[in-house]
Amino acid sequence: MKILILEPYFTGSHKQWAEGYQKHSKHKVKILSMKGQFWKWRMHGGAVTLAKQFKNINYKPDLILSTDMLDLSTFLALTKTKAFSAIYFHENQLSYPWSPNDRDFRKKRDHHYSFINYISALSADHVLFNSRFHMDIFLKELHSFLNHFPDHNEMESIKIIEKKSEVLSLAIELKKFDTYKNKKHNNPLILWNHRWEYDKNPELFFKSLKHVKDEGYSFDLVILGENFSNSPEIFQNAKDIFKENILHWGYAKNFDSYAKWLWKANILPVTSNQDFFGVSVMEAIYCEAYPLLPKRLSFPELIPNKFHGDHFYQNENELNEKLINIIKTYKNRDLKALKKVALKYDWNYLASVYDDKMDSLLKKQ
């Protein structure tokens, strides 16, 4: 089978996912992409550029697999391709919490991007989500989104989308971390390995660490992840507060450095307000960092119930209590079983699942 992946925002987890499937699939997979910047313009104009690229290549796919950053309806209209079309939702703009610093948000939330996600899902032959949580919240938010408009709300279109939607877990290159495995840090080493953005809730993360520090518990701290010019101010404040704890502060210069810090880390407190899957969390779990996760978002479905008592918290007080307890006992914790959970999301396992799914989609034609 010939598959064409369309990715107008080719960076980060989007790029890793596309290249991972291309590398591990038994099918012939070609990627048409654009640089991962100017996300709003990519959602509006990326379909025009990728349609032009498509017309200039000698490649007739059996199946087109686009991502949520593409206006699929425009691409299909411009190319008039007869290939089966599926869309993979890494995230969506209906339920993604926008930053209060976004200029569109300050006026009034711009519905253009939500509409692109909606019409793309409606146009696709099949719709795939990276988690059950993601699929459920997307379909739920469609009701209020369409009700926002004055008439002809087309509520029945939600059922059309729901009928052709399913979950296909995100796949990750986890085995590549094996080369960098080293000994854990001697002292409790707490890790942040997410983007420096407000939706990852750094305020609660650093507030909890401040509580632990004030209670007299010592720890070391590594803050990784992509940081931006408009990153929340709490990061600069925390750099001063925890200057005696910090071993590394800032974006890892390369994958080698990133992987080595994950293997050294002992504890991963996660405070996110938004996560449709959780790539950085699974990477840290695979590297045997002890996760402490909020009992919401996608996390409860990714981790089996038998681990929930030790690794999930319901509120801030429970987060603080469990974090202190882990600092005191982490050396006696065996994370091998939880590492096997993360391994389920490695491409070496999921590539055949993806291939079987693409085969079954074509049979629906």
Q: Where are the domains of the chain?
A: 2-172+347-363, 175-343
Q: What is the pTM of this model?
A: 0.94
Same fold, 2-172+347-363 and 175-343: yes
Would you state the CATH architecture of domain 175-343?
3-Layer(aba) Sandwich (3.40)
Nearest to residue 327, comparing CAs of 214, 190, 175? 190
Rounded to an integer, the average pLDDT of 241-266 is: 97
- pLDDT level of residue 227 (50, 70, 90 thresholds): confident
Q: Which two tokens stand for residue 61?
A: 């796919």
Cβ 63 vs Cβ 362: under 8 Å: yes
Residue 357 phi, psi (nearest 5): -65, -45
Q: Which two tokens stand for residue 231?
A: 């990153």
Mean of all residue pLDDT scores within the chain: 94
The confidence score (pLDDT) of residue 106 equals 46
Work out the end-to-end distance of the chain between its first and last CA atoms, rounded to an integer number of angstroms: 14
**Fold held by 2-172+347-363:** Rossmann fold (3.40.50)
Give per-residue pLDDT as tens, 151-193. 999 999 999 999 999 999 999 999 999 999 999 999 999 999 9
The confidence score (pLDDT) of residue 104 equals 55
Give per-residue pLDDT as tens, 69-109. 999 999 999 999 999 999 999 999 998 776 665 555 444 55
Give per-residue pLDDT as tens, 276-318. 999 999 999 999 999 999 999 999 999 999 999 999 999 999 9
Q: Which two tokens stand for residue 86?
A: 């599926």
Give per-residue pLDDT as tens, 22-58. 999 999 999 999 999 999 999 999 999 999 999 999 9
